[in-house]
Structure 1
Amino acid sequence: MNFKLFSELYDEAKKCENVDSFIDNRENMSELKNMQIDNAVLLLRFIYEVAHMGIKDIREYLGLPRPNFCERYEIKLRTLEDWEYGKNPVPQHLTKLLSYTLVEDFMS
């Protein structure tokens, strides 16, 4: 899935409070049909879940302790701790990029 399509779906999922309405609005999307995805509903559900994850949720989903996560994504440990404890906001573009990596892994 290209980042442009992911970004569109991610942004819409962020705004949507209900996963079922998000899926109903998107499961027949021509872009998804063109990708020949086996189960578009499963993919859309995962995108919705990822769009509602925080940085800690993403790290835990990956099964990485803080030091390993920081090393992999070149983030300072103190910065990650500040994000996870709510001292500083996580840049939205970073959360979206990390979410994209989860969706790419999910699809492969």
Structure 2
Amino acid sequence: MNDKQFCVLWGEALSYADRDGFISDAALSSIWGDAEDAQISADRLRELGRLWDAANMPVRRIRDHLGLTQAEFAQRYLIPMRTLQRWEKDGTCPDCTRLLLLQVTGLYSR
């Protein structure tokens, strides 16, 4: 998946509440440039599932995966404690920041 495809699909993944619906729609999207009757690879489906999971993973789950307290997580990633608390409480962490946290923690890679 190239950068342009990733950017479009990341945005779409954020707008889908249903993982399977996203995977199905994205796999068949014209973004891939496939012929209409082209076979969809298992790798594409798997990658789309990983992308949806990452796009919809809250900061709290990233922190929990690392086994860190809020204070430890905030200190490690230089995030003000009140900001981290707000992100976890109301889910307002910017998508780009969450993606960077996912990548730096090893929870998502492209």
TM-score band (shorter)? 0.5 to 0.7
Q: Deviations over 1:15-68 (max 9, x none)?
A: 12222221123336648xxxxx97222221121122122221222233333233
Q: 1:13 to 1:100 in 2, by over 3 A?
A: farther
Q: Among the aligned pairs, what percent are the same residue? A: 31
Q: Secondary structure at the match of 2:65?
A: helix
Q: In the alignment, what sits opposite 1:103?
A: 108
Structure with more helix by fraction: 1
Counterpart-to-counterpart distance in 2, 1:68 and 1:5: 35
How far apart are 1:3 and its partner, in Å? Answer: 5.3
Q: What RMSD in Å do the two structures reach over aligned CA positions?
A: 3.1
**Unmatched 5+ stretches in structure 1:** 32-36
Q: In the alignment, what sits opposite 2:94?
A: 91
- 1:1-108 → structure 2 map (5 Å cutoff): 4-27=4-27, 30=32, 39-86=43-90, 89-101=92-104, 102-104=107-109
- Compare relative contact order (CA 8 Å, sep 6+) and give the higher one, 1 or 2: 1
Could you state the TM-score of these two structures normalised by the residue count of structure 2? 0.63
Could you state the TM-score of these two structures normalised by the residue count of structure 1? 0.64
Q: 1:103 to 1:6 in 2, by over 3 A?
A: farther
Question: How many correspondences in the alignment?
Answer: 99
